[in-house]
């Protein structure tokens, strides 16, 4: 057990590579040390090292799960703590499998161990974003938002490509320690080339800015989650958003996820007209986050355009928060979450037109899934995310989620607008930099002028398939039979 404590400590430290700390260079150091600990280990021992690393990373990095289940979900503290531990242990299985695969591949082809390490970790991040509907939070690539030089690769490779490149650069550093001079030179040259290429790629604009500016107002109501759904306090939310909309007129006014604590069809019609009037007077529209009753039996987590009536329904629902997986209905007795049985929105929903722009919408953690956002961004000129992270209190969830949205802006070459209930409401430029953001846990509006963009980045065209192919090629190199040496003639 003592030998696994250093790996656990490396995992704990990995959290500092992500928001709100954003020490991108630290991920290279930590993965280099992880590479050195796992190289030469048997697959079973490498798996234990990977599990210890992952358990440290996820216990520290997604501890806000406890806040949502206990403080706002009503689960007893011991059960919430156990559930958080089990969830972190499940997530830790992915780096465990990655390092086990790395050790097995290295034993077959040591000369390709750098590629095996990078491919194994990238595939683990990719699998975590897919299995059981996916949870790719804290994928390695997310640590490389600007100012990291590797951020320049995002429009080409996406987040999982950055996971591969970060792990490859880290393995180069780890392999250079006490290695023969030729291997040191090759490893360090590879790392230098990666950094230099990233810096050069950051100077390329993959999409074209539209000439006409659009005025936007992103509203942050700051309604306490424990108060939001109380029937006697419904008017608090309604009044607050009316006041913010009146005080901050714009062509595009964006409200956060479930901003109105009523089913949309039950909201008074004169209220919708009143809150949307300033935006409509500016020639635009107001987009409202609310639960929408589709046919009276199914309900959707939606964004509805007040003027046009167009809507977007959330497609990628949160397990246990918005729907209950089969065989887990018993969890509803432990959690007290409103609107926990929602219907899934249709695939390939079109963007909503507002004042000449095409707004591609996504709700809450849907922006974790880069390939889905890339598909939705192709016909859109702007991206917008509405979220309610009040579920996670004063935790790292808000800045971590903002960092994820920055990666989506980079991958698609689109401006990303974020309207949230408690934070972090922000305007993110197409280069992944935050232009402006509201202070968390304040009631305010963020006003800005933005430009839509046209065109496709390479990632929007090919998504994650090139990275998947690259990883497959790396594994194939390791599995290729070694060439037999020619027999020496007998004396």
Residue 485 has pLDDT above 50, yes or no: no
Examine the residue annotation and report whether 364 is marked as an active-site residue of this protein: yes
Position 294 scores a pLDDT of 66
Of residues 74 and 33, more confidence is placed in 33
In contact, 456 and 378? CB cutoff 8 Å? yes
- Weakest mean pLDDT among 219-228, 318-327, 424-433: 318-327
Question: Which tens digits make up the pLDDT trace of 252-272?
Answer: 999 999 999 889 999 988 999
- Weakest mean pLDDT among 278-287, 336-345, 383-392, 472-481: 336-345
Question: Which tens digits make up the pLDDT trace of 1-48?
Answer: 667 999 999 999 999 999 999 999 999 999 999 999 999 899 999 999
Examine the residue annotation and report whether 314 is marked as an active-site residue of this protein: yes
State the average pLDDT over residues 301-329: 80
Residue 122 has pLDDT above 50, yes or no: yes
User: What does the alpha-carbon distance between residue 38 and residue 3 come to, in Å, rounded to a whole number?
Assistant: 12
Grade residue 312 by pLDDT with cuts at 50, 70 and 90: very high
- The overall average pLDDT reported for the chain is 91
Q: Which of 172, 228, 314, 411 is catalytic?
A: 314
pTM of the predicted protein model: 0.93
Residue 330 has pLDDT above 50, yes or no: no
C-alpha count within 13 angstroms, C-beta hemisphere, residue 300? 18
Task: Give me the domains of the chain, ranges plus CATH numbers.
Answer: 2-204+463-479 (no CATH), 210-453 (3.60.110.10)
Position 231 scores a pLDDT of 82
Grade residue 229 by pLDDT with cuts at 50, 70 and 90: confident
Q: Which of 172, 228, 257, 322 is catalytic?
A: 257
C-alpha count within 13 angstroms, C-beta hemisphere, residue 383? 33
Position 69 scores a pLDDT of 83
Percent of the chain exceeding pLDDT 90 equals 75
Residue 387 phi, psi dihedral angles, 5° rounding: -140, 160
User: What does the alpha-carbon distance between residue 112 and residue 248 come to, in Å, rounded to a whole number?
Assistant: 58
Give burial (CB, 10 Å; 0-12/13-18/19+) of 132. exposed
In contact, 406 and 416? CB cutoff 8 Å? yes
Question: Which tens digits make up the pLDDT trace of 205-222?
Answer: 999 999 999 999 999 999
Residues 6+ apart with CB under 8 A from 425: 218, 219, 220, 256, 418, 419, 437, 438, 444, 446
Phi-psi region of 59 (alpha: psi -120 to 50; beta: other; left: phi over 0): alpha
In contact, 438 and 427? CB cutoff 8 Å? no
CA angle 302/133/261 to nearest 5° reads 25
Residues 6+ apart with CB under 8 A from 228: 237, 258, 261, 390, 421
Residue 419 has pLDDT above 70, yes or no: yes
User: What does the alpha-carbon distance between residue 29 and residue 169 come to, in Å, rounded to a whole number?
Assistant: 10
Question: Which tens digits make up the pLDDT trace of 145-204?
Answer: 999 999 999 999 999 999 999 999 999 999 888 778 877 788 788 888 998 999 999 999
Position 491 scores a pLDDT of 43
Q: Which of 172, 364, 471, 478 is catalytic?
A: 364
């Amino acid at each position: 057990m003592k030998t696994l404590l250093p790996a656990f400590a490396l995992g704990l430290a990995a959290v500092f590579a992500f928001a709100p700390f954003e020490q991108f260079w630290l991920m290279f150091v930590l993965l280099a040390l992880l590479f050195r600990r796992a190289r030469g280990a048997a697959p079973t021992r490498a798996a234990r090292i990977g599990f210890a690393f992952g358990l440290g990373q996820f216990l520290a990095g997604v501890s806000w799960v406890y806040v949502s289940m206990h403080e706002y979900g009503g689960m007893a503290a011991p059960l919430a703590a156990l559930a958080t531990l089990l969830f972190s242990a499940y997530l830790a299985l992915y780096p465990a499998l990655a390092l086990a695969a790395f050790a097995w591949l290295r034993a077959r082809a040591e000369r390709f161990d750098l590629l095996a390490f990078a491919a194994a970790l990238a595939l683990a991040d990719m699998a975590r974003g897919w299995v059981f509907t996916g949870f790719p939070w804290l994928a390695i690539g997310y640590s490389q938002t600007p100012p990291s030089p590797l951020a320049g690769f995002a429009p080409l490779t996406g987040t999982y490509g950055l996971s591969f490149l970060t792990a490859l650069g880290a393995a180069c550093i780890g392999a250079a320690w006490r290695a023969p001079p030729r291997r040191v030179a090759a490893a360090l040259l590879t790392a230098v080339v990666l950094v230099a290429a990233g810096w050069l790629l950051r100077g390329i604009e993959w999409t074209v800015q539209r000439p006409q500016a659009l005025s936007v107002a992103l509203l942050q109501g700051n309604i306490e989650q424990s108060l939001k759904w109380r029937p006697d306090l419904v008017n608090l939310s309604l009044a607050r958003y009316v006041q913010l909309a009146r005080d901050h007129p714009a062509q595009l006014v964006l409200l956060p996820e479930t901003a109105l604590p009523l089913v949309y069809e039950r909201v008074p019609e004169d209220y919708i007209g009143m809150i949307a009037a300033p935006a409509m007077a500016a020639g635009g529209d107001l987009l409202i986050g609310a639960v929408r009753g589709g046919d009276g039996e199914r309900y959707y987590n939606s964004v509805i355009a007040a003027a046009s009536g167009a809507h977007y329904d959330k497609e990628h629902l949160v397990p246990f928060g918005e729907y209950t997986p089969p065989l887990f209905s018993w969890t509803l007795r432990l959690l007290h979450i409103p609107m926990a049985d929602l219907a899934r929105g249709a695939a390939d929903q079109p963007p909503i037109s507002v004042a000449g722009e095409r707004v591609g919408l996504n709700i809450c953690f849907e922006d974790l899934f880069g390939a889905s956002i890339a598909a939705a961004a192709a016909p859109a000129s702007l991206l917008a995310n509405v979220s309610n992270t009040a579920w996670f209190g004063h935790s790292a969830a808000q800045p971590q989620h903002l960092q994820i949205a920055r990666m989506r802006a980079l991958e698609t070459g689109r401006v990303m607008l974020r309207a949230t209930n408690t934070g972090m409401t922000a305007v993110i430029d197409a280069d992944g930099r935050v232009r402006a953001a509201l202070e968390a846990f304040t009631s305010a509006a963020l006003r800005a002028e933005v430009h839509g963009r046209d065109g496709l980045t390479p990632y929007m065209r090919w998504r994650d398939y090139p990275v998947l192919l690259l990883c497959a090629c790396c594994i194939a190199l390791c599995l290729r039979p070694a060439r037999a040496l020619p027999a020496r003639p007998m004396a």
